[in-house]
Amino acid sequence: MAWKRQDSENRIGIAKGGSAWISRLRRITASVIMLEQSRRKQNASISIDLQLCSLRQAV
């Protein structure tokens, strides 16, 4: 039952270094949120560019 031993070792590791693990998770979450926000901004600017192009073609 190697997986049972691994599971208990993981629990002990999280209990010992829980704060480090949580802070690492928070950093990852924050970077994912920043990436998502920048992607939304890029999508918005792309749609504005497309609208401007279609306006120029209409004129």
Both structure tokens of 46: 């792309």
**CB 14, CB 21: distance < 8 Å:** yes
The pLDDT value given to residue 2:
60
Task: Indicate whether this model's pTM tops 0.85.
Answer: no
| CB neighbour class for 47 (10 Å; exposed up to 12, middle 13-18, buried from 19) | exposed
Give tens-digit pLDDT for 4-59. Answer: 666 666 666 656 666 777 888 889 999 999 988 888 888 888 888 888 888 888 77
**Domain range list for the chain:** 19-59
Locate 55 and state its tokens.
């306006």
- pLDDT score of 19: 76
**21 contacts: CB under 8 Å, gap ≥ 6:** 13, 14
Q: Token pair for residue 11?
A: 């629990």
